[in-house]
Structure 1
Amino acid sequence: MKVYIGTGGYTNEDWIGEDLLYPPGTKQTDFLGIYAQHFDAVELNSSFYGIPGLKAFEGMARRAEGRTRMAVKLNKVFTHDRAPQDSDFDRMLQSPQPLREAGIMGPYLAQFPYSFARTAANRKYLQELSERFAGHELAVEFRHQSWDKLEVREGMREYGLIWVSPDYPPVAGVPEPGLHVTADVAYLRLHGRNSGNWWSGESAAERHDYRYTQAEMDEWAEKIAFVEGEVEEAYVFFENTTKGHALKNIPMLRQALRARGVPVSTPRPSESPQASLL
């Protein structure tokens, strides 16, 4: 099992500073190149707001230098508006081709909102979406608890969909934390456990303002180690990027996995002065 560990996005202004990821004065255009020196995976958030073109993905592939796998988040027209046109499918499927050619394309991520409950209409929509993405790895995150059922995961296995295992705060209405496998790929998103801000937070930064303890990282390392041999690849993405929490938690998880005999790696060594920080 190859384990890829990274964060949700890489353009975080609060990662700029001494003893952080990006040295003071770093331009946003240089973020990915530095990020790729430390982490072997990233979720691309920009595609949720607007599907990048071929040239944009070519630039990402070039700056990553083959170091970092990229999971591509589906545009909101697929998950929130749920009214994609053929042109949207064409662009979403074709634009990341440079990542495939560079060997760094990860799964597509369909991040559905809490309002996407398990209804007959939504089940039909998900089936149609899976058919349009047939032949491509598609990971699906449900935020509504109604999807958190064994029969749903069995159906996803039948259609070749990847169940996204989320770690949400202990609040009502969301799926329980747990690492479930429905394909040859496991996909884990760690949102933090800030239950006070999950529903009331005005921004994603507020909802994800949480730093995991070592005991909590040990807990997830045990679950990841348990599925070794069951999957070929496992992606772990920390969404608690605010205030640099993820930067502190990733080394903790790496250490916990290695202690349990699960090999994890970091990108090739770099001459960057920041390379030894993480």
Structure 2
Amino acid sequence: MRVYIGTGGYSNDDWLGLLYPAGTRSTEYLGIYARHFDVVELNSSFYGIPGLKAFAGMAARSAGRVRFTVKLHQVFTHARTPQDSDFDQMLQSPEPLREAGLMGPYLAQFPYSFHRTPENRRYLGMLAERFAGHELAVEFRHGSWDRPEVRAGMAEYGLLWVSPDYPPVGGMPEPQLHVTGEVGYLRLHGRNGGTWWEGTSAAERHDYRYSRAELEGWADQVAAALDAGEAEELYILFENTTQGHALHNIPVLREALEARGVPVWHPDPDAPDPEGAGVDGHQASLF
């Protein structure tokens, strides 16, 4: 199993002084990020699908070091009114990532209001057909989808089940690693139950730092999946990027996985900088 570990997004200004040296321009973030992680979940595409030129720039700034998972635009998951032009743009724009060998799965993140109803099941089937030939990972936030028969159907249609770690507030899928194909996808949102429903922003909902014991629990599940030969690749994305929580959690998870015989990628401090990756040649010292 090849395990990729990274974060949901990389354009986090509150990482200045943590991952990014003070004074780093936002255009330099990705080059620095690429020195420390081997996958990033592109969340900006939820709000506006980048064009070919933008994706080509990402491939160049990452120096071929980072896989990208690409979140579907909200028209696919929240409005659920995509037009043919939306499908065309969503499928064609990341082509520079494919050409560079950096494209990971697409991510469809459905809201809690997306229950398991006949209408929504048909909609999901339509998405599977339109994205046939591409890896599409699906995250459900309503617990009605958390059933073995749903995962069996997803496996049949070539869809990837997203295993989520949510706060224990009830009504959502359980924190269990499930794999429905050759690729697994794990999203760690944090367990801040006090802000999950009441929070006014994603930053508040994801304001949580995992304990070592909590991360070792996930390491146990990943190691079990490896032993069972359940997947060839596993993407682990930390969404708790607020205040740099993810930056502190990832080294702990790497250590826990290696202790269980799961090989992981580590940053190479001696690797040459991608063009524009640093500020006056200096790198952050978090790792």
Please state which band the TM-score falls in when normalised by the shorter chain: over 0.9
- In 1, the alpha carbon distance for the partners of 2:206 and 2:87 equals 30
Aligned to 2:235, the other structure's residue is in SS state: strand
Which residue identity does 2:271 align to in structure 1? S
Structure 1: gaps (5+ residues): none
Does the CA contact (< 8 Å) of 1:161 and 1:182 recur in 2? yes
- In 1, the alpha carbon distance for the partners of 2:218 and 2:259 equals 13
Residue 267 (structure 1) shift: 4.9
Residue 230 (structure 1) shift: 1.6
Quick one: structure 1 residues 259 and 187, their matched pair in 2 at CA, closer, same or farther if it must change by over 3 Å?
same
Quick one: structure 1 residues 28 and 165, their matched pair in 2 at CA, closer, same or farther if it must change by over 3 Å?
same
Aligned to 2:236, the other structure's residue is in SS state: strand
The Cα RMSD (Å) is 1.0
For these two proteins, the number of residue pairs brought into alignment is 276
Residue 148 (structure 1) shift: 0.4
- In 1, the alpha carbon distance for the partners of 2:2 and 2:94 equals 22
Q: Which residue does 2:283 correspond to in 1?
A: 274
Q: Does 1:250 align with 2:259?
A: no
Q: Which residue does 1:106 correspond to in 2?
A: 104
Alignment deviations for residues 98-123 of structure 1 (CA, whole Å, 9 cap, x no partner): 00011110000000001101011000
- In 2, the alpha carbon distance for the partners of 1:231 and 1:10 equals 26
TM-score by length of 2: 0.94
- In 2, the alpha carbon distance for the partners of 1:114 and 1:28 equals 32
Residue 277 (structure 1) shift: 2.9
Which residue identity does 1:173 align to in structure 2? G
Q: Which residue does 2:218 correspond to in 1?
A: 220
Q: Which residue does 1:155 correspond to in 2?
A: 153
Q: Which residue does 1:11 correspond to in 2?
A: 11
The correspondence of residues 1-278 of structure 1 with structure 2, limited to 5 A, is 1-17=1-17, 20-228=18-226, 229-268=229-268, 269-271=270-272, 273-274=282-283, 277-278=286-287
Alignment deviations for residues 106-162 of structure 1 (CA, whole Å, 9 cap, x no partner): 000000001101011000000000100000000000000100001000000000100
- In 2, the alpha carbon distance for the partners of 1:262 and 1:175 equals 25
- In 1, the alpha carbon distance for the partners of 2:271 and 2:242 equals 25
Residue 266 (structure 1) shift: 2.8
Residue 175 (structure 1) shift: 0.7
Which residue identity does 1:65 align to in structure 2? A
Segments of 4+ moved more than 2 angstroms: 266-278
Aligned to 2:65, the other structure's residue is in SS state: coil
Quick one: structure 1 residues 173 and 14, their matched pair in 2 at CA, closer, same or farther if it must change by over 3 Å?
same
- In 2, the alpha carbon distance for the partners of 1:273 and 1:185 equals 36
- By relative contact order (CA 8 Å, sep 6+), the higher-ranking structure is 2
Does the CA contact (< 8 Å) of 1:38 and 1:275 recur in 2? no
Residue 275 (structure 1) shift: 6.2
TM-score by length of 1: 0.97
- In 2, the alpha carbon distance for the partners of 1:250 and 1:71 equals 18
Q: What percentage of aligned pairs have identical amino acids?
A: 72
**Bigger Cα displacement from structure 2, 259-268 vs 52-61:** 259-268
Does the CA contact (< 8 Å) of 1:47 and 1:75 recur in 2? yes
